Amino acid sequence: MNYRVLLLVLLWLPGWAAASSCSLLIVGDSLSSGYGLENGASWVNKLDARLKNAAPDWRVINASVSGDTTQNGLQRLQPALDRHHPQGVLIELGGNDALRGTPPATIRQNLVAMIRQVRAAGAWVVLLDAPVLPNYGKPYADAVARLYVDVARQEKISRVPCFVCGVGITKGMMQADGIHPNEKAQARMLGNVWPHLQPKLRCPVKKP
C-alpha cells in the first residue's frame, strides 16, 4: 500500500478536517446566551450557521452566561482559554455592570484585563459595545459608552460600535421585559457584528 496516498486520504476525511478547525469563543451575557429565546434562535446560533457556509473551518464556542458582569467574565475567561484554545474571542459584556451602576473605571479595568489575557493566549479579540440604559443619567451613560472607544483604541483591537443599534427603538424587536431583544432582532444583531468579524476569519494551517 502507498502510505503517502493513504495519509492524503485520511487528511480529507471529516474527522481529520475537524482536527484542524479554528474556534471562536464568545464570552457574553444574556444578549449572547439566548435568554428568553427558543433553542437555536440567538444571534450566536445564527453566526454558527453562517460560518458553516462562509468560513467552514471555524466553529463557535458560546461561553455566555445570563447576568454576567465584566468581573464574572474575567473570572471565567482564563479557564475557558485553557480548555478551548480559541483562535479568536468576542467579548460582549458590560450591560449588567451598567445596570448596577458599576464605576466606568472598574468596567474598563476588567475589559483591559480580559483583552490582555486573550492576547497572551495567542488569540485575537473583538469587543462589543454594551447597551446602557439611562438609569443613572446621561453623564454615566456617556462615560460607559466612551470607555469602549478608549479601550479598543488603547489595546488596538476591533470594536463593534452598534451591537444592538436600532433594536431597542424598533417596534416588535424586544421581549416583554423591554431589555432583551426578541427572535426577530437576532439577525440584525448578527448583521452588526459580522462586518467586524469576517475579516478575521482566516484559519491558520496547523503544522502536523
Annotated catalytic, 85?
Answer: no
Residue 116 burial (CB count, 10 A): 12
Q: For all residues of the chain together, what is the average pLDDT? A: 89
pLDDT of residue 55: 96
CA 156/CA 93 separation, integer angstroms: 18
Annotated catalytic, 177?
Answer: yes
Q: Is the torsion defined by CA of 81, 62, 96, 67 positive or negative?
A: negative
- Active-site residue identified among 29, 30, 42, 97: 30
Output Rg (C-alpha) for the chain, integer angstroms. Answer: 19
Q: Which three cell numbers stand for residue 159?
A: 470594536
* List of residues 6+ apart from 58 with CB closer than 8 A: 21, 22, 23, 24, 51, 201, 203
In order of 9, 53, 99, 144, the CA distances from 125 in angstroms are 35, 22, 24, 19
Instruction: Please list the ranges in the chain whose pLDDT falls under 50.
Output: 1-20, 208
- Domains annotated for the chain, with CATH where assigned, are 22-200 (3.40.50.1110)
- Active-site residue identified among 32, 68, 129, 180: 180
Main-chain phi, psi angles of 88, to 5 degrees: -145, 150
* Apex 42 CA angle, 174 and 64, nearest 5: 105
CA 114/CA 76 separation, integer angstroms: 10
pLDDT of residue 206: 58
Annotated catalytic, 180?
Answer: yes
pLDDT tens per residue across span 173-182: 999 988 899 9
Kindly give the pairing relationship between strand 58-62 and strand 22-28: parallel
